[in-house]
Each structure stands twice: as C-alpha cells, then as structure tokens.
Amino acid sequence: MITIIDYEMGNLRSVAKAFETLGFDVCVSNDPIAVATSDKVVLPGVGAFRDCIHNLRAGGFVEPILKHVAAGKPLLGICVGMQMMFDESEEFGVHQGLGLIPGRVKRFPAGMVEGGERLKVPHMGWNSIQIVRPAPIFNDVADQSFVYFVHSYYCAADQAEHVAALCRYGDITFSAAIWRDNLMATQFHPEKSQSVGLAVFRNFAAL
C-alpha cells in the first residue's frame, strides 16, 4: 500500500489519481499511524515551507517519517515535500526542515535575465532536467525530459552525491530531484508532468 500524507498542504487528489490510473492502491491519510505501517509513503507539498513544516509537525508526522526512512522503506517527496527533506529553508525567515538531506532551500534572485528577457518568479511551467545519477524513479525516463515546475524557492544540496537531476533557470542550476538510498524526491510535479510523471510514479510504486 502507498500512503499519501494528508497534512492539509498537498495536491493530494491529483497525486492519488495518478497512482490509481497506473493501477496501484493508494491511501490518502491524515493518521500518522498509517505512515508507520505503510510500505511506501508519498510526501506532497504545495504552499510555503513554513506552513508545510508546521502542519507536518502539528499532525505528528515527523517521527513516523523519520522511522519510515530509517527502516529502509521508500519515501517520495514532491515539490515542498522535497524541500522539507533538507536542513532548512529561508522562506519567510529561517525554518528547520527534516534534516534528511544536507542543504538549504533558497529563493530565486530577482532580476534574472535570459535571452534579453527578465525571468519571472515563480519558475512556472515546463523545463528540461539533466539526469546526473540513475535514481530508480528515472528508469526509462530520458535525459533532458521536460517536466512541470511551480516554485519560487529551490534546493541547494551540499553534496553532489544526493542529486539525481538538475535543472537550470536563469543563472541558477538547482536540484530538480534527489536520491539517497530509499529516499527520493522531485522539485517538479510528476502529477502534472504527463507521461514522464507517470513513469516516475510507476517506478516508485514498483520499488
């Protein structure tokens, strides 16, 4: 069973529907016990880091997530779900994350220019990713595939060995996906990324 954590901050229904379309059983749950007993867990995220990590802690999910990872069971983070895996974020002040991946979440700088045009923040829409490590979620996913992003803050990993894919926006090259053992995450939204996103979900479910 795949459990999608409901902490009132994620694009839950779209993520669940994508897994169901692929034929996998999913459970959207706001019960920390469901996380503790699940084979695989998905941590989605939409909104501000500060609010997401607050809700995650208030819902009693942090300890079950950390135990799930320590037990070697697969965890997939999506967007802010990925950002919360890092040490801290500078969004609306400095806020501590789960500390699963060394690094920091930073804001895209204002005034970035590409091709003579000012780039908008948030980074929103389709962009290609460079796969730099063969993470299991990228089986049968081609390098330079296009995926869908919506974010104003990006992850800067301290260690290159944790980065599975990169993406460039303006002057910034950021972590588009991470992989450390049973821990995987994407800054992009697989549920909005059509066939590539479905491949990511299929690969995760098949672990």
From the candidates 95, 151, 162, 189, give the one annotated as an active-site residue. Answer: 189
What pLDDT, in 10s, does the model give residues 80-120? Answer: 999 999 999 999 999 999 999 999 999 999 888 888 889 99
User: Is position 189 annotated as part of the catalytic site?
Assistant: yes
Q: In the prediction, which pLDDT does 82 show?
A: 98
The predicted model gives 130-154 an average pLDDT of 98
pLDDT at res. 10: 76
pLDDT tens for residues 13-28? 999 999 999 999 999 9
Does residue 54 carry a catalytic annotation?
A: no
Torsion of CA 166, 157, 16, 41, to 10 degrees: 140
Q: Which of 52, 79, 155, 167 is catalytic?
A: 79
Residue 191 among the catalytic residues: yes
What's the whole-number mean pLDDT along residues 158-177? 97
User: pLDDT over 90 for what percent of the chain?
Assistant: 93
For 156, other C-beta atoms within 10 Å of its C-beta total 15
> What pTM does this model have?
0.96
CA 53 – CA 87 distance, rounded (Å): 12
Domains of the chain, residue spans: 2-205
Tell me how far apart the alpha carbons of residues 64 and 66 are, in angstroms, rounded to a whole number. 6
The share of the chain scoring above pLDDT 70, in percent, equals 100
Residues 6+ apart with CB under 8 A from 175: 103, 154, 155, 156, 157, 162, 163, 165, 166, 187
The CATH number that domain 2-205 falls under is 3.40.50.880
Determine the pLDDT at residue 183.
98
